[in-house]
C-alpha cells in the first residue's frame, strides 16, 4: 500500500498523457531505473474496490453470490503484491489481464431467479447437510413445493426424499409412475411401509405442496394439505446423507422434479397448520425453523441456507431453470396405432366355430381403444404414449393368435417376464365350507425364483404352492414336488396343510382338491383323489383385499406349466364328487373356468359372474 500511495503522489506531477511508475533497483554493482505504465491497472483497481464496497451479497435475485466479494478481494491483494515485485512491463500487463478476468467473474456472479431441476440419472439429487437428517429423526415437520416434470421412473420408484440405507434403515418417501406415493421407515428388522396413496395422487405439470411429519413413532404425508398416507414405525438412524430427489443408497431412484421453499421445523405440525402454511414465505428468523432453502435463486452447485446452519449440494444431472420446462409430446405413434386397431376391428367377425374370433373380441378391442384414447387425452408422459402404442399393435397379433379352437388349459411360462398369469375378477374368498378344484401339469420343477417355489393359484389370503429346486441334483429333485396350501387366518397368519415331496411330478396331469369343512375346522389336500395333507383346528381365510385371483402366479412366484378346469365350490365335496361333469349352473358353484376351448384374451366363466384375462400367457 505504501508503494501504491507514493505512486498517486507521483502521478500528480507527471504529465496527464502518461503516468510513469519508477522503481529504482540496486544491487552491489549498479542501479537500474525502470518505467512501467500502470494507468490501466490503477483504473481497474479502483473499479474493483468500488464493486466490493457497494456490492451486496445474498441469496435473493440480483444479489452477488455469497463468497464472491472475498474471491475478488483475494485477486486485488495479489495485484498489489505483483506491483511491488514487478520486474518488467509484462508483469504489469499480466496483472491487468488477471484483474479484468476477476472483475468479469464477479460481475456475472449475480444471483438469478431460478429453481433447481433434478433430472433422472444415477446419483442425481440434492444432498443436504447432516444436521437436517438429525432433525428428521426427532419430532419434526418438512414442507416443500415440488413440480414433477414427468412421473416416469428410472429405478423402482422416484424418491422424493430419503436417508435410506441397508440393511433396512432410514426413512423416506417415494412415488411411482402411476402417481401413487408412500413413506418408509426402516427398522433394521425390515422395511415398514405405509399404504400407497391412490394412483394420481402425485401429478406432473403443476406445483404441489408436500409436507411430512414424524413424531418419532408415527409418520404422515400430506399433499396439498390433505393427509394421503400414514405409517407407524420407529426408523433407525443411518450413516448416509439426506437427499432430495433420490436415495443415497438406491441411487437410481431419481426424480424428474423442481424444488422450492424447502423448510424443516423442530416440531410436529397438525393438518391445520400445514394447510395454513401453504404459500406462506419465511425469512429464516422464525422460532423452531431448523433449515430454510428458498431454492428460488441460482446459487451454483453448493450453498448455505438462509439461516446459515445448513448446506445443500446439487449432484449429478441437474440445472437451474427460471421456469418449469415444457415437455413437447409426440403423439404420432399412438395416433397411428389407434387407427390401425380401429381398422382391424372392422374386419373382426365373432363366432364359436373353430377359426372364428372368440365372442367378446370386439368388447376387448373397444376396451383397448378406450384406454388408448384416455392415455392420448390425459397422460403427459412420452413413455406412456409410446408404450400404449406398442401394446396396441402387439394386441392385434395376440388376438389373431387366439382364434376359437380346442385347448388343453393355459400355459404359464415362469421364464417369460411378460407372462403373469390368468387374472380372475372380482376376487372371492370363501367364508364357510369350500372346495377348490383344478388340474395342473407342471412343465418343470426347476424354478429361477429365490426360494425356488411356484404358486399354482392364489388370491393373497389363500393359495396353493409347489416346491421346486434351483440346482439340478438328485437330492434337490427328490425334495421337490411337495408344497403348501397357504391360508391367512385372522389372528394366526399364514398357516394351512402341507403335502409331501414327490406328490406333484412334472409332465403329468394331476387333479388337486382343497376341501375345508368349516364345522369340523379341517382343511385337507387331495391329489388324484388321495388325501396328501390335512390341518385341524383351522378357520377360513381372512377376506382378501386383492382385486383378483391369479392362476399360475401369486406374490410373483410363478409356476411353469399348464392349468385347467378351475372350480370353487361353497360346499364340502367328497372324493366321489371330484371332477364331475358340470355346466356352470350347479348349486353352490361359485367359479368355473373349464379352459378347454380358446376364448380369446378376455372371457367370462361358465357361471357368468367372473371374468378371466390372459396376462402374457397362452392357450395350450
CATH of the domain at 60: 1.20.1270.90
Positive/negative CA dihedral, 277, 278, 284, 290: positive
> Does 224 map to a domain?
yes
> Does 558 map to a domain?
yes
Residue 151 shares a structural domain with residue 220: yes
d(CA 347, CA 50): 81
pLDDT(244) > 80: yes
Q: Which of 366, 394, 422 is the last residue of a domain?
A: 394
Q: Which of 501, 525, 505, 500 is nearest to 514 (CA)?
A: 525
> Does 403 map to a domain?
no
Residue 501 shares a structural domain with residue 364: no
For strand 589-593 and strand 257-265, is the pairing parallel, antiparallel, or unpaired? unpaired
Average pLDDT over residues 383-411: 93
Residue 67 shares a structural domain with residue 192: no
Q: Which of 369, 394, 419 is the last residue of a domain?
A: 394
> Does 567 map to a domain?
yes
> Does 402 map to a domain?
no
> Does 267 map to a domain?
yes
Residue 58 shares a structural domain with residue 15: yes
Residue 292 shares a structural domain with residue 343: no
DSSP code of 544? P
- SS3 state of residue 19: coil
Residue 284 shares a structural domain with residue 153: yes
462 touches 486 (CB < 8 A): yes
**What digits encode the pLDDT tens for the residues 78-94?**
999 988 888 899 989 99
Residue 176 shares a structural domain with residue 284: yes
CATH number of domain containing 374:
1.20.1270
For residue 182, what are the domain limits? 115-321
> Does 230 map to a domain?
yes
pLDDT(32) > 70: no
**What digits encode the pLDDT tens for the residues 436-483?**
999 999 999 999 998 999 999 999 999 999 999 999 999 999 999 999
| pLDDT at residue 34, as a whole number | 56
**What digits encode the pLDDT tens for the residues 347-388?**
999 998 999 999 999 999 999 999 999 999 987 778 789 999
417-450 as b/e, with b when 16 or more CB fall inside 10 Å? eebbbbbbeebbbbeebbbbbbbbbbbbbbbeee
- SS3 state of residue 24: strand
Least confident of 59-73, 356-370, 497-511, 590-604: 59-73
CATH number of domain containing 267:
2.60.120.200
d(CA 333, CA 383): 11
Kindly give, in sequence order, each residue whose CB lies less than 8 Å from that of residue 330, ignoring residues fewer than 6 positions away.
382, 385
Share of the chain above pLDDT 70, in %: 94
Distances (CA, A) of 422 to 162, 397, 515, 549: 37, 19, 22, 8
Residue 283 shares a structural domain with residue 165: yes
Residue 67 shares a structural domain with residue 166: no
- Write the burial class of residue 490 (CB in 10 Å: 0-12 exposed, 13-18 middle, 19+ buried): exposed
Residue 133 shares a structural domain with residue 83: no
Q: Which residues pair with 602 in a beta bridge?
A: 613
Number of domains in the chain: 4
Q: Which of 129, 148, 254, 266 is nearest to 210 (CA)?
A: 148
Residue 198 shares a structural domain with residue 343: no
Q: Measured between alpha carbons, how far apart are the two ends of the chain, in Å? A: 94
- Write the burial class of residue 594 (CB in 10 Å: 0-12 exposed, 13-18 middle, 19+ buried): middle
- Cell triple for residue 252? 437410481
- SS3 state of residue 64: strand
Share of the chain above pLDDT 90, in %: 76
Average pLDDT over residues 41-54: 90
Residue 419 shares a structural domain with residue 519: yes
> Does 455 map to a domain?
yes
Q: Which of 298, 321, 344 is the last residue of a domain?
A: 321
Is this structure's pTM higher than 0.95?
Answer: no
Axis crossing angle, helix 68-85 with helix 89-107, rounded to the nearest 10: 170
Amino acid at each position: 500500500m505504501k508503494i501504491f500511495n507514493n505512486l498517486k503522489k507521483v502521478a500528480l506531477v507527471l504529465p496527464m498523457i502518461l503516468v510513469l511508475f519508477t522503481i529504482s533497483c540496486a544491487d552491489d554493482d549498479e542501479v537500474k531505473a525502470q518505467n512501467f505504465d500502470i494507468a490501466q491497472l490503477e483504473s481497474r483497481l479502483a473499479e474493483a474496490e468500488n464493486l466490493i464496497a457497494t456490492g451486496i451479497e445474498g441469496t435473493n435475485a440480483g444479489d452477488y453470490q455469497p463468497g464472491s466479494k472475498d474471491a475478488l478481494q483475494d485477486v486485488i491483494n495479489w495485484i498489489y503484491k505483483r506491483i511491488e515485485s514487478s520486474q518488467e512491463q509484462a508483469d504489469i500487463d499480466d496483472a491487468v489481464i488477471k484483474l479484468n478476468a476477476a472483475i468479469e467473474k464477479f460481475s456475472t456472479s449475480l444471483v438469478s431467479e431460478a429453481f433447481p431441476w433434478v433430472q433422472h440419472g444415477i446419483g442425481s439429487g440434492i444432498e443436504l447437510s447432516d444436521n437436517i437428517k438429525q432433525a428428521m429423526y426427532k419430532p419434526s415437520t418438512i414442507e416443500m413445493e415440488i413440480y414433477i416434470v414427468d412421473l416416469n421412473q428410472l429405478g423402482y420408484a422416484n424418491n422424493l426424499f430419503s436417508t435410506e440405507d441397508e440393511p433396512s434403515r432410514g426413512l423416506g418417501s417415494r412415488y411411482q409412475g402411476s402417481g401413487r406415493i408412500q413413506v418408509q421407515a426402516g427398522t433394521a428388522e425390515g422395511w415398514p411401509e405405509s399404504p400407497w396413496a391412490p394412483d394420481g395422487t402425485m401429478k406432473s405439470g403443476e406445483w404441489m405442496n408436500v409436507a411430512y411429519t414424524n413424531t418419532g413413532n408415527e409418520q404422515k404425508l400430506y399433499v396439498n394439505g390433505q393427509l394421503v398416507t400414514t405409517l407407524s414405525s420407529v426408523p433407525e438412524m443411518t450413516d448416509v446423507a439426506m437427499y432430495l430427489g433420490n436415495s443415497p443408497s438406491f441411487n437410481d431412484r431419481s426424480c424428474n422434479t423442481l424444488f422450492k421453499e424447502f423448510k424443516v421445523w423442530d416440531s410436529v405440525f397438525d393438518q391445520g397448520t400445514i394447510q395454513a402454511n401453504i404459500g406462506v414465505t419465511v425469512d429464516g428468523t422464525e422460532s423452531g425453523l431448523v433449515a430454510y432453502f428458498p431454492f428460488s435463486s441460482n446459487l451454483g452447485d453448493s450453498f448455505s441456507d438462509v439461516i446459515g446452519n445448513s448446506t445443500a449440494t446439487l449432484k449429478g444431472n441437474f440445472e437451474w431453470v427460471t421456469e418449469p420446462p415444457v415437455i413437447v409430446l409426440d403423439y404420432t405413434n399412438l395416433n397411428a396405432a389407434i387407427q390401425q386397431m380401429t381398422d382391424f376391428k372392422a374386419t373382426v367377425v365373432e363366432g364359436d366355430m373353430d377359426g372364428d374370433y372368440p365372442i367378446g373380441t370386439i368388447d376387448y378391442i373397444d376396451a383397448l381403444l378406450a384406454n388408448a384414447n384416455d392415455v392420448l387425452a390425459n397422460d403427459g408422459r412420452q413413455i406412456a404414449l409410446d408404450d400404449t402404442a406398442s401394446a396396441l399393435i402387439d394386441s392385434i397379433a395376440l388376438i389373431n393368435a387366439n382364434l376359437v379352437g380346442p385347448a388343453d388349459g393355459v400355459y404359464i411360462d415362469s421364464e417369460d417376464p411378460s407372462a403373469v398369469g390368468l387374472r380372475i375378477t372380482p376376487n372371492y374368498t370363501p367364508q364357510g365350507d369350500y372346495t377348490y378344484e383344478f388340474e395342473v401339469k407342471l412343465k418343470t420343477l426347476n424354478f429361477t425364483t429365490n426360494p425356488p417355489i411356484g404358486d399354482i393359484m392364489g388370491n393373497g389370503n389363500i393359495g396353493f404352492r409347489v416346491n421346486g429346486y434351483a440346482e439340478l441334483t438328485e437330492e434337490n429333485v427328490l425334495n421337490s414336488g411337495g408344497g403348501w396350501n397357504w391360508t391367512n387366518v385372522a389372528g394366526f397368519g399364514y398357516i394351512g396343510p402341507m403335502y409331501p415331496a414327490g406328490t406333484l411330478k412334472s409332465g403329468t396331469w394331476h387333479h388337486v382338491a382343497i376341501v375345508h369343512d368349516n364345522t369340523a375346522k379341517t382343511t385337507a389336500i387331495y391329489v388324484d383323489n388321495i388325501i396328501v395333507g390335512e390341518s385341524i383346528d383351522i378357520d377360513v381365510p381372512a377376506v382378501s383385499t386383492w382385486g383378483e385371483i391369479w392362476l399360475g402366479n401369486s406374490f410373483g412366484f410363478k409356476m411353469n406349466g399348464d392349468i385347467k378346469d378351475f372350480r370353487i365350490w361353497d360346499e364340502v365335496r367328497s372324493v366321489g364328487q371330484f371332477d364331475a361333469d358340470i355346466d356352470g349352473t350347479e348349486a353352490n358353484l361359485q367359479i368355473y373356468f373349464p379352459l378347454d376351448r380358446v376364448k380369446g384374451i378376455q372371457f367370462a366363466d361358465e357361471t357368468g359372474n367372473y371374468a378371466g384375462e390372459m396376462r402374457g400367457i397362452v392357450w395350450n
